[in-house]
Each structure stands twice: as structure tokens, then as C-alpha cells.
């Protein structure tokens, strides 16, 4: 998946991830507690990895809009501890689209978010959780 050309929000999310995800930044965000940071990062990678698959399947099959909206809402909450407010707001827009039954907008939005979540997980894996 490629980034959406000319999409200012997409660019903002990329910048936000780049500035928020670094070992020193994360350590500060988690009060200097490396164990907590590693635990949260590891849990995030596992849970979000699975949720991405489930959401993509639900959107593709146009099934369970309320359950899918709840999963996307949970994604919004999951990125908050990392200080990713723009990404969180994008998730809320997708949740709203789902609740309205606008599957096309939800799919387009989720493709963008999924791309960024992949970048985020990659950056977190680069930091390491060992």
C-alpha cells in the first residue's frame, strides 16, 4: 500500500509517528520505566497486529459494522499512550463512517490507517522489546 498522495493528514500522521517513536521519547512517555515501556510496546504490537487483520476482514466483507466500529475505536485508544493524536483522530473518523454505514469511506480510511499502523509497528520493532 502506498501513502495517499497529496493527503495532508496522511503526511501529518507520518511526521507524528517519526517524532513520537524513539526509545528516549518512549521512555520519557512511560516515566523512565523501561520494563513498562517494553511490556506496553510488546502488547501493542501483538494486539494491534491481530486487530488490523480482523478490521480489514470485516470491512472487506461489510459485516458487523458496530463490532468493527468498536475495534477501530479501540485502535484510537491504543495509539494514545504513544502520543499519536492525529492517528487517533483518523481512527475516530473511520469509526464514525462505520456507524453511518459508509463502508467505502471506512475502507479508504482504514487502508490509510493500516499503512500507518504498519509503519508504527515497524518502528516499535526497531526499538526492540527484549
Q: Is the pLDDT of residue 130 over 90?
A: no
Confidence bin at 4 (pLDDT 50/70/90): very low
Contacts of 17 (CB under 8 A, 6+ apart): 84, 87, 116, 119, 120, 123
Q: In this structure, how many other beta carbons lie within 10 angstroms of the beta carbon of residue 70?
A: 14
Q: Is the pLDDT of residue 1 over 50?
A: no
CB within 8 A of 28, min separation 6: which ones? Answer: none
Q: Is residue 109 within 8 Å of residue 94, measured between CB atoms? A: yes
Name which residue leads in pLDDT, 3 or 40. 40
| Cα–Cα nearest to 116, from 16, 41, 13 | 13
> pTM of the entire structure?
0.82
Amino acid at each position: 500500500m502506498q501513502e495517499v498522495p497529496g493527503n495532508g493528514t496522511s503526511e501529518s500522521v507520518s511526521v507524528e509517528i517519526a517524532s513520537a517513536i524513539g526509545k528516549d521519547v518512549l521512555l520519557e512517555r512511560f516515566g523512565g520505566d523501561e520494563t513498562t515501556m517494553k511490556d506496553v510496546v510488546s502488547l501493542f504490537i501483538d494486539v494491534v497486529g491481530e486487530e488490523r487483520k480482523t478490521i480489514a476482514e470485516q470491512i472487506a466483507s461489510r459485516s458487523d459494522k458496530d463490532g468493527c466500529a468498536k475495534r477501530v475505536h479501540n485502535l484510537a485508544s491504543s495509539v494514545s499512550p504513544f502520543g499519536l493524536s492525529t492517528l487517533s483522530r483518523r481512527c475516530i473518523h473511520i469509526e464514525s463512517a462505520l456507524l453511518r454505514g459508509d463502508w467505502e469511506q471506512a475502507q479508504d480510511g482504514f487502508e490509510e490507517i493500516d499503512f500507518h499502523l504498519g509503519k508504527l509497528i515497524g518502528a516499535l520493532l526497531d526499538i526492540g522489546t527484549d
